[in-house]
Amino acid sequence: MKKTLISGLALAGLLATTASVQAADYVIDTKGAHASINFRVNHLGTSWLLGRFNDFKGDFSYDSANPDASVVNVEIDTKSIDSNHAERDKHLRGEDFLNVKEYPKASFASTGFKSNGNGTAELTGDLTLHGVTKSITIDVSKVGEGKDPWGGYRAGFEGTTELKLKDFGINYNLGPLSETVYMDLHVEEIGRASCRERVSQT
């Protein structure tokens, strides 16, 4: 079920959003742990099951003069699903849900970007999950951008999307309230030129 969440991973797609000073290529800052792909699923109508994907990577290209040409690509290691419960994670990696042996990766490739003109945007793209590819839309908000203390340039975004498990061939019955997975994405990107010069951060 959480697999769907990946999609969004896809999330990482958020990057292609609002303005940068000029055309530039970025990578998601996973080494510094300044990015996360999180999900939540309703549990029996009484609480939320929370989790994340620990291993993913991605990059994007953004041109402030032509944002519609933005390109975002994200790849997620489905085995890295983490709901803070070892037995549950084992089940989620199995055939009932992500089936990581057959589908070890999930991916997101952007197909469009539409700015709302107020620091928010809609990012569309193809999410491949559990062997199924579907178009999804991620609602994106820009957190901020600017130079970092190490001479690089960074941009940060957050985004949300909703996924139906059945749309990706995951049909395990968790009840009607658990058919939808809610994704919360937080991404900080660094310019490619500054990646080689980064120092350890906390």
Q: Which two tokens stand for residue 121?
A: 């945007």
Distance CA 143, CA 154 (A): 11
**103 pLDDT band (50/70/90 cuts)?**
very high
The DSSP symbol for 45 reads T
Distance CA 23, CA 63 (A): 4
Distance CA 177, CA 146 (A): 41
Residue 2 has pLDDT above 70, yes or no: no
**Could you give the dihedral angle defined by the CA atoms of residues 101, 103, 106 and 112, in that order, rounded to the nearest 10 degrees?**
180
Phi, psi of 87 (to 5 degrees): -65, -40
Concatenating the DSSP letter of every residue in 171-182 gives: -----GGGSEEE
| pLDDT score, position 64 | 64
> Residue 187 is inside which H or E element, if any?
strand 180-191
All structural domains of the chain: 2-195 (2.40.128.110)
Alpha helices in 61-138 (DSSP H): 86-93
Nearest to 81 by CA among 38, 44, 136: 38
Are 181 and 11 in contact by the 8 Å Cβ rule? The answer is no
Contacts from 115-119 at CB under 8 Å and sequence distance 24+?
115/17, 115/18, 115/67, 119/18
Q: What is the pLDDT of residues 16-71, one digit of tens each?
A: 333 334 457 878 777 777 789 999 999 988 999 999 999 999 887 766 666 677 78
Go through the chain and tell me how many residues it has: 202
Distance CA 36, CA 29 (A): 10
Q: What is the pLDDT of residues 163-196, one digit of tens each?
A: 999 999 999 988 898 999 999 998 877 775 544 4
- pTM: predicted TM-score of the whole model, two decimal places: 0.79
